[in-house]
Structure 1
Amino acid sequence: MAGRTREPESTRTAERRGRGGRAPTEARDAPSEPSDPTRSRLGRLLRGSRRRTLLLALLLAVVLGGLGGWLLYGSPWLRVDRVAVSGTDVLTERQVREVAAVQEGGPLVSVDKEAVERRLRAELPRIREARVVRSWPNGIGLKVTERQPELVMKRAGIYVEMDREGVRFATAERRPKGVPLLVFELERSAVSTRHFGAEKLRQAAAKTAAGLPRPVRRAAETVRVRSYDDITVELTDGRTVLWGSAERPGAKAKSLTALMKAAKDAEHFDVSVPSAPAASGS
């Protein structure tokens, strides 16, 4: 009986790979491409250069920041050596400086401007506005605007000054020259007092005084308040002006100026309704 002929091993392996196995592809079996040593070295140099540039930039920023901080806070060149005051009339420059309390010799940049402004307004009520400015390299400027009295009230022998907003900001033993006296006569208008309150009535009176034409303002002796809608201005020569409420001051001032020119001998002027002014007496 004849024996079986065996197939060569290489043939069986090829058949098995044809049925399910994968023969090595050309790409897989191909040798990797050798790297370019020049290109690799150039990449390393570029990466190293970028790192050095970044480090140098960071170092420069730290140095400049430290130098700037020292110049502002530690150097002797940017320190306060003078405090200038402007805008004072009644107040003295010394009063303003003392209340401002700006430390001379301290760093100019460390002066808290907002805190100084608040302190000036709080401790010196006569100051309506305060502005603090740095004047490099060594100065601080204190620019103030004082309140101007539009009216005075007499209380226990003392005159209380009020500005155009009705703010009471100062007292004086003598009545300031040229400032009208505020007088309340509210017995017959208790309803008005309850509705508006003393503060609103003071504000209305101050607004009236501030709205008078300049010649009338200079001649005003008394501002008499009977109610919110009944404010009368008495002049030094005995003439009177019924102003009414404090509303529409511009229209009333214009109407009063024209009325006084047209009725020069009149003693009483009524501009409570500015579109229909009236004059009487002679």
Structure 2
Amino acid sequence: MPSSRRPTYAPPKRSVRPDAPAADNTETAARAATSPKGTSGSDVITASRSIPEPSAPKQAKVEKPSGATVLAFPEPKGRRRRKKVLLAAGTVLALVAGLLAAAIYSPVLALQTIAVTGTHYVAPAQVQAALEPLRGKPLPQISDDDVRGLLGSLVQVKSISVEARPPSTLAVAVHERVPVALVKQGEQYQLVDVDGVQLATTDDPASASLPVIDGGAGAIGQDLFRATAAVLGALPADILAKLSNASAQSVDAVELKLVDGQTIVWGNASEKELKAKVLAALLKAPVDPKNPVRVYDVSVPRHPVTR
């Protein structure tokens, strides 16, 4: 008859280290006390396994070079982009500079034709003759100062406007001085502007339709002459054509005479534009044949007087 007793196995003897703490022995005794009765310590099958302690992560070995080490970093994209932009801009500028240099010194753009406009008291041929030294010079090298300097001998020319019209034409627009009065000199009459510059001469004062300044600058003095000329320069052409002469007792007492015999009391040269507008309105007003106007007083333009 088979035996009902279970085989027993002797647990492996545990080696106790000398330096093991006393708590291990105490724990063993506690286990024996709590085991079921009738069961000896040899009846308990125990198994133990040593759990390896986690090892520290391996660190990569860094070999230190014997000499100095230079680390190469990639160039930032922004810097590469700026270099490309600067290179492209430099190339464009070089091309533009080359084209400009070719245009400035190219004989293809040499001046051949001078077109003159705006002349009345000076002939276009005179302007073209004065600008003859510029012929054959490239248009980009001709400046307004060059043209102005060559036309300085023509007193009728007050200012100019220059326009280059490739390939070989220079357009010159002349702004002439405007005559405002006649000054009698001997048997002739000089046409003068507001600055007293003589623009032309004529034997027939009626052909100019301008007032005569009595005595001229030599007789009445420069100050009175300039004051009178400034007044005449503020008047429109239709009123100038109605004047017969102008005079001044002082710079504050300028008077004008109409061809019909009426007198215009102007006063000084202040508020010239306003006085000219008031005078034009008075001359256009209806005339009463029974009470004709002999004097137009615009010396105080905001309160004009007729009598």
What is the CA-CA distance between 1:276 and the residue it aligns to? 3.0
**Residue segments in structure 2 that go unaligned for 5+ positions in a row:** 1-62, 76-85
Spell out the pairing of 1:123-134 with structure 2 (5 A cutoff).
Answer: 123-134=153-164
Q: Does 1:245 align with 2:246?
A: no
- What secondary structure, in the 3-state scheme, does the structure 1 residue paired with 2:302 have? coil
Question: TM-score when scaled to structure 2?
Answer: 0.62
Contact kept, 8 Å, 2:183 with 2:216, in 1: the verdict is no
8 Å Cα contact 1:255-1:274 kept in structure 2:
yes
Residue of structure 2 equivalent to 1:32: 66
Identity rate, percent: 27
The question of 1:141 aligning with 2:171 is answered yes
Give 1:171 deviation, angstroms.
Answer: 3.4
**1:118–1:199 distance in 2 versus 1, CA, 3 Å:** farther
Letter aligned with residue 156 of structure 1: G
Please identify which structure carries the higher helix content.
1
Q: 1:250 to 1:59 in 2, by over 3 A?
A: closer
State how far apart, in whole Å, the 2-side matches of 1:132 and 1:213 are. Answer: 28
Instruction: After TM superposition, list the pairs within 5 Å mapping 1:90-169 onto structure 2.
Output: 90-120=121-151, 122-163=152-193, 165-169=194-198
Please name the residue that 1:272 is paired with. Answer: 299
Query: Unmatched 5+ residue regions in structure 1?
Result: 1-28, 44-53
Distance (Å, rounded) in 1 between the aligned partners of 2:67 and 2:160? 79
Alignment of 1:170 with 2:196, yes or no, is no
CA offset digits 1:75-116 (Å, max 9, x no partner): 342221211111111211110011123432332222243121
Q: 1:14-93, aligned counterparts within 5 Å?
A: 30-32=64-66, 65=97, 68-73=100-105, 75-93=106-124
Note if contact 2:155-2:199 (Cα within 8 Å) is conserved in structure 1. yes
State the TM-score, normalizing by the size of structure 1: 0.67
Rg larger in structure: 2
The verdict on how the C-alpha distance between 1:242 and 1:64 changes in structure 2, with shifts beyond 3 A counting, is closer
How many angstroms apart in 1 are the aligned matches of 2:174 and 2:93? 40
Matches within 5 A, 1:147-226: 147-163=177-193, 165-174=194-203, 175=205, 176-184=207-215, 198-212=221-235, 215-226=238-249
Runs of 4+ in 1 over 4 A off after TM superposition: 33-36, 54-68
Shift of 1:266: 1.3
